[in-house]
């Protein structure tokens, strides 16, 4: 069964998958996931390293102006919007002092959508989720879990139906890593891929 083949291969490739964003506090994860839109986790980690070290509490982060934030994150792109969102999220979270296990609350924060909320809920609270980022979106199609015309929400629904709920968070992280390092957008490593027999795009790549 394809599901078992996929699960086994992902377990071999990524036995202990984890989020590659670096954070020490719950709010840092939330901020870093928001910042990671349209860029790599690596560049977010570089941009936030000094920022989180120097401003290591919510109160301290809350003293930063949008211009201050821009100076720290200028290398990651979409800096204007991301700086405003950063300031706004810090201000909101600082009112309660922690990131709550509450999707509705999270999705109302500026710059936080369904995907960001899912990553935060899965990593902080182990809430079973599927955050469909660009890697998960692409790999799901290639592995035949979703179809060519499915949008992100439909892909999420299909992934949730395809895999057992107890496995969602682990497989989500594994699919991100598989898409990031193996089944890349351009030049995927098909020659060494053990999922080639079930792949829908093996001939294209
Ligand atoms: S065969 Fe290539 S495109 Fe298909 S899943 Fe493997 S790496 Fe991805």
**What residue ranges of the chain have pLDDT lower than 70?**
203, 205
CATH of region 2-16+131-192: 1.10.1670.10
65 vs 45: CA distance, rounded Å: 20
Q: Which single residue is written with the structure tokens 């201000």?
A: 91
What is the pLDDT, as a whole number, of residue 175? 98
In the chain, CATH 1.10.340.30 covers 26-125
Q: Residues with beta carbon inside 6 Å of ligand 1?
A: 142-143, 182-183, 188-190, 193, 195-196, 199, 201-202, 205
* 3-state percent breakdown (helix, strand, coil) of the chain, nearest 5: 60, 0, 40
- Alpha-carbon radius of gyration of the chain: 18
Residue 188 Cα: closest atom of ligand 1: 7
CA of 170 to the centre of ligand 1 (A): 20
Could you confirm whether 115 is annotated as catalytic? yes
What is the pLDDT, as a whole number, of residue 205? 63
CA of 35 to the centre of ligand 1 (A): 28
Among candidate residues 82, 87, 115, 141, the one labeled active-site is 115
Residue 182 Cα: closest atom of ligand 1: 7
Q: Of the CATH numbers 3.30.565.10, 1.10.340.30, 1.20.58.1290, 1.20.1250.20, which one belongs to the domain with range 26-125?
A: 1.10.340.30
Could you confirm whether 150 is annotated as catalytic? no
What is the pLDDT, as a whole number, of residue 113? 97
In the chain, CATH 1.10.1670.10 covers 2-16+131-192
97 vs 119: CA distance, rounded Å: 20
CA of 5 to the centre of ligand 1 (A): 13
């Amino acid at each position: 069964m394809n599901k078992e083949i996929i699960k086994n291969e992902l377990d071999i490739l990524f036995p202990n998958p984890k989020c590659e964003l670096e954070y020490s506090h719950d709010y840092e994860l939330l901020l870093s996931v928001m910042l990671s839109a349209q860029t790599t986790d690596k560049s977010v980690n570089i941009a936030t390293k000094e920022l989180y070290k120097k401003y290591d509490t919510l109160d301290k982060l809350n003293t930063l102006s949008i211009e201050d934030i821009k100076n720290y994150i200028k290398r990651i792109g979409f800096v204007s919007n991301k700086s405003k969102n950063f300031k706004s999220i810090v201000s909101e979270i600082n009112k309660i002092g922690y990131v709550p296990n509450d999707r509705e609350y999270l999705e109302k924060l500026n710059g936080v959508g369904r995907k960001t909320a899912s990553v935060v809920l899965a990593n902080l609270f182990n809430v079973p989720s599927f955050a469909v980022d660009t890697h998960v979106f692409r790999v799901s199609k290639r592995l035949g879990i979703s179809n060519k015309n499915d949008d992100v929400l439909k892909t999420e629904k299909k992934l949730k139906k395809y895999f057992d709920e107890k496995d969602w968070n682990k497989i989500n992280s594994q699919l991100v890593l598989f898409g990031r390092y193996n089944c890349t957008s351009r030049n995927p490593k098909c020659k060494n891929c053990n999922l080639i027999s079930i792949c829908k795009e093996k001939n294209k790549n």
